[in-house]
Structure 1
Amino acid sequence: MNRLIHYLFLAVGLLVSIGVQAQAYPSKPISLVVPQAAGGTNDIVARLIAPSFGEAIGASIVVENRPGAGGNIGTQSVARSPKDGYTLLLTINSAQAINPSLYKNPGFDPVNDFVPLYYIGATPYVLVSPPGSPYKTLVDVVAAAKKRPGELSYASAGNGTISHLLGAMLNASAGIEMQHIPYKGVAPAINDVLGGQVPLAFASLPSALNYIKAGKLQAIAISSAKRSSAAPEIPTIAETYPDCVGEVWVAIFAPVGVSVDVIKKVQAAMEKALSKSEVRERLSAQGLDLAPVPTNKLSALLKDELAKWAKIVRASGAQLD
């Protein structure tokens, strides 16, 4: 009888311990994986929100850049990570909504491998040129491209990225043939525009805005349907070509299998972090539109984007192994 009582106490103690551990999340640092190189939109957003997110959830947030294969490598790593809430994905729609159409085998299923946790915001891309360039307006770009078909080039963050596909959309809308030059990330693309090695680039507004404000880049036009509140002086491409619209949105996902408790804690912490005026101001200053998409509609947004970009990828002829 004494032995039975002893085992009962052990069992109760184990159950209590398991219960405490389950309630203890987070009890160690959380990795926020950015599947692109430093300097891109989601990297900028991740580093701006990490301190407030960490404070709200009660743990250190470690931003980890895991670039490669257009975002596939980092995204795969999160899909295959432990389902304990300590590895989250802060990604953009070019990886989550375009890569499944662009790559024969991206290595992940954007719908079935992930749980949408939080939509942060969206931002346009901006077509830029170096100071002193003759390409100051969209009219300048289109006129030059029509005069010398196939000679005028533009840089992008890589094959199949939104910055690449926007160039393909502009080619189709304006009836021109700009040459696409892919880079491994937005930072090296911008660097070569700054250095005059390439005349134009499509870059996300957060990655280019500081250069534009400092006079190191000329902003020609942005890719949203309406002008950005962060830079209202920059015209939209849609003002001339209404069908040429594309933005990048940023959201947090977790691998399928995380507990409801973790999901609720992450969502509550993000809500609290983004309710701070100083955080919202910093994000808005970078060109991010924080107009919310409810979390329960993020899945529908992702599915809509998968269908939208699949058509554009097919029309562009882009395909990667």
Structure 2
Amino acid sequence: MTSIARRASLIAGLCGSLCSMVAFLAPAAATAQTASTKTVVIRVAYPAGGPADVAARKTQVPLQASLGQTVIIENVPGASGSIAASNVLNAAPDGNTLLVTTGNDLILAPLAMAQVKYKPENYRLAGVLSITDFTLVTNAQHAFASVDDLIESARRKPQKEMTFGSWGYGSAPYLVAADFAASAGIRVLDVPYKGAAPVIQALLGNEIDMAFVPLAPNVLELVRQGKLKAIGSASSTRSPYLPNMPTLNEGKHLKQFVYSAWAALFIPASVPEPLAVRLNQSLAEVKKSEDYKRFLADSAALPDSPTTLAQAEAFYRGEMQKFRAIAKSVNLQAQ
């Protein structure tokens, strides 16, 4: 017997009237009907066409079928995803206004920008949409044989800072590069750009020495063409797309250096548990499909199994702890 049925039975017994039970169940039925017909809005924290947006749109139709509700996508870019994040947080906590962003940005924006007032704990991770390792790439002018070669070369020239491209102070590539420099004992200079695409162009034009970037299809192709050199992935295992590329942890100087870029579906923490579970389970069904698995492979994303809500939250907490620790170690200050 479900909890609703037990409550209905108890009321019926106490009142001694079938009408009482009907009166009790009718509002619940009406509420369920309203929830099932209301449009679900997914607010994407980036412009249309980016990796997170493409992943969100790939889930749109199957989520619509699973939830039995119309699902629409709205792009709300700006301020490292914090505009969309704040917008979703201010919506009704009915599970019908969702956020797609990268977990990295959702965690780091409040640490780097004073105007961002939310906390990562204000959201729950419903499920990861796609995940890929950060990869250290250099421009083709450099001929480092390995990450050890790169680090030792930088140590021999301490007066000359190596330049790293990032998409701004406090961004994930900024933090990963800062941790890399601290762990390797070298000096680096951050050069900020407005996103991944300008960083790649800067590498191709030899404007910067290197960058940590997600292993997206365009990066993969440039590496295969020899236009960029992949030094190693920030992972515990080698990439299935570049199996000859070592991980950064295979060298002498770095251990347990693991960073990934992951786009995900988030909900406000105030959303009732049954609605959160329903959304998590619907997303899990989408990710089990062969069509979605092909999409991940075509995106150079890592194979990723569906998770329960509890597993998703454990992963999210671990990422929060990791980035907060790194931010503290490099003295990241909100500006």
Same fold (TM over 0.5): yes
Matched residue, 1:243: 256
Determine whether 1:80 maps to 2:93: no
Matched residue, 2:157: 148
Matched residue, 1:195: 205
Determine whether 1:231 maps to 2:262: no
Determine whether 1:22 maps to 2:32: yes
Question: Share of identical aligned residues, percent?
Answer: 28
Please state whether the residue corresponding to 1:282 is helix, strand or coil. Answer: helix
Q: Residue 209 of structure 1 contacts residue 287 of structure 1 at CA under 8 Å; is this kept in 2?
A: no
Determine whether 1:295 maps to 2:309: yes
Instruction: Quickly say closer, same or farther: Cα 1:152–1:92, change in 2 above 3 A.
Output: same
- Between 1 and 2, higher relative CO (CA 8 Å, sep ≥ 6) is seen in 1
Which segment is superposed worse, 254-263 or 308-317? 254-263
1:86-143 residue CA offsets vs partner (Å, 9 max, x unmatched)? 32112322123333433445221221x2233224453210112344543564244324
Q: Note the residue ranges of structure 1 that are not aligned, 5 or more in a row.
A: 1-11
TM-score, normalised by the number of residues in structure 2: 0.79
Bigger radius of gyration among the two: 2
Instruction: Quickly say closer, same or farther: Cα 1:227–1:38, change in 2 above 3 A.
Output: farther
Matched residue, 2:112: 102
Match of 1:271 among 263, 268, 284: 284
In structure 1, how many angstroms separate the alpha carbons of the residues matched to 2:250 and 2:207?
29
Instruction: Quickly say closer, same or farther: Cα 1:28–1:129, change in 2 above 3 A.
Output: farther
The letter of the residue matching 1:304 is G
Match of 2:220 among 209, 216, 230: 209
Please state whether the residue corresponding to 2:230 is helix, strand or coil. Answer: strand
Please state whether the residue corresponding to 1:250 is helix, strand or coil. Answer: strand
In structure 1, how many angstroms separate the alpha carbons of the residues matched to 2:184 and 2:49?
30
Determine whether 1:176 maps to 2:210: no
Q: How far did residue 320 of structure 1 move?
A: 2.5
Which segment is superposed worse, 174-183 or 281-290? 281-290
1:285-319 residue CA offsets vs partner (Å, 9 max, x unmatched)? 42224044431133333333322222211221222
Q: Residue 141 of structure 2 contacts residue 206 of structure 2 at CA under 8 Å; is this kept in 1?
A: no
Q: How far did residue 24 of structure 1 move?
A: 4.7
Matched residue, 1:117: 126
- Count, aligned residues: 308
Instruction: Quickly say closer, same or farther: Cα 1:48–1:307, change in 2 above 3 A.
Output: same
In structure 1, how many angstroms separate the alpha carbons of the residues matched to 2:283 and 2:221?
26
Q: How far did residue 17 of structure 1 move?
A: 8.4
Matched residue, 2:332: 318
In structure 2, how many angstroms separate the alpha carbons of the residues matched to 1:168 and 1:297?
29
Matched residue, 1:53: 63
Matched residue, 2:6: none
Matched residue, 2:17: none
CA RMSD of aligned residues (A): 3.0
Q: How far did residue 223 of structure 1 move?
A: 0.6
The letter of the residue matching 1:268 is Q
Instruction: Quickly say closer, same or farther: Cα 1:75–1:197, change in 2 above 3 A.
Output: same
The letter of the residue matching 2:204 is L
In structure 1, how many angstroms separate the alpha carbons of the residues matched to 2:211 and 2:40?
34
Which segment is superposed worse, 157-166 or 257-266? 257-266
TM-score, normalised by the number of residues in structure 1: 0.82
Match of 2:321 among 288, 307, 319: 307
Matched residue, 1:5: none
Q: Residue 288 of structure 2 contacts residue 305 of structure 2 at CA under 8 Å; is this kept in 1?
A: no
